Structures are given as C-alpha cells and as structure tokens.
Amino acid sequence: MSGAFRILVLCTGNSARSQVAEALIATLGAQRTAGRVTAASAGSRPAPRVNPGAIAVLATHGIPWGDRPPRHIDTVAAEPFDLVITVCDHARDACPILPGARATVHWGLPDPADATDPEAVRAAFAATYDALRARIEALLALPLETLPSAGLTARAAEIHRTLPLPIFT
C-alpha cells in the first residue's frame, strides 16, 4: 500500500517473535492516527509453521493469526522498507543488508520457543507479547514519517534499551 510506513521484522525461524511483532504492528499500525503503518516478517531459516504458542498468545488478545506461513528473507529482500527490526541475535548476524531499508535496529529478545512445558510456553509467549507490544506502541508514537534515517534508528534503539526484556525460564 503506497503511503504507508513499512516495517519488516526479521528472526531466524519466522515462527515466534517476528510473527508476534508483525501481528502487533499490523494491528496497531492500522489504528495509528498519525499515518498508517504496515508490517511484514521473514526469517533466515524459516520454520515449517508458525509456533502454536505465538498463535495462542495472539488469539488471547483478539488477533487471529493461524493462517500465516513463515517466509524466507529472500521473498521480501527486494521490497522497500522504512524500518527493519531484527528480534534475535542470529537474524541480526545472518540476514543480509537490505538495500531498500531506510533504517535498521536490533531488538534482541529471548526466544519463547525455547520453553518446554505447556505452562512455561504460555508464560514465555505472554512475556514476549508484552515486551513487543510495549516496544511497538512506543515506536508507533514517534513521528516515523518525518524522522531522518539516523534519527529513526537511534530512537528505535533507545526504545529497546529503556524497556525491560521478557524474563522466563
């Protein structure tokens, strides 16, 4: 959609953190009064399916997301994005430089998919959802369309630095 501020979220498997972030940006960005924000997500080694924990936590918050397959970075690499956010350390290190990206930032978050028992999985995805929502709400409150590239990167990095990381075991 032309005129929209476009954000790409990258993670290794594109099955957990990046999917939750994409869903939140798509939902909250569509409601933004300062200008529409759209989202996409991809991974350097996409999983076969979106993690059920991601689908469940989004459903808990009224966001249906079960029909979204993980995508490889190559499927979006040629598209122009205003901001690229990596949400895992491996994706930050493994993903190529995207020539169409105006700004990039790293929001390294622990992987909720590492949890094992059902209650730990639920808690890990809930904590990840909360951490991403706080970051995305702060990001969407910025004057995204008027920030220069360096300013956008700096402000997005500041958001991540000043908000707590999710904690789970």
53: annotated active-site residue: no
122: annotated active-site residue: no
Q: What is the residue type of 112?
A: P
Question: Of 21, 24, 88, 144, which one is the catalytic site residue?
Answer: 88
CA atoms within 13 A on the CB side of 51: 26
Question: Of 95, 103, 126, 144, which one is the catalytic site residue?
Answer: 95
Ordered strands of the 5-11 beta sheet: 37-43, 5-11, 81-86, 101-106
Strands (E), the chain: 5-11, 37-43, 81-86, 101-106
Q: Which residues of 115-128 are buried (b: 16+ CB within 10 A; e: fewer)?
A: beeeeebbbbbbbb
Question: Of 11, 23, 58, 101, which one is the catalytic site residue?
Answer: 11
10: annotated active-site residue: no
Residues with catalytic roles:
11, 88, 95
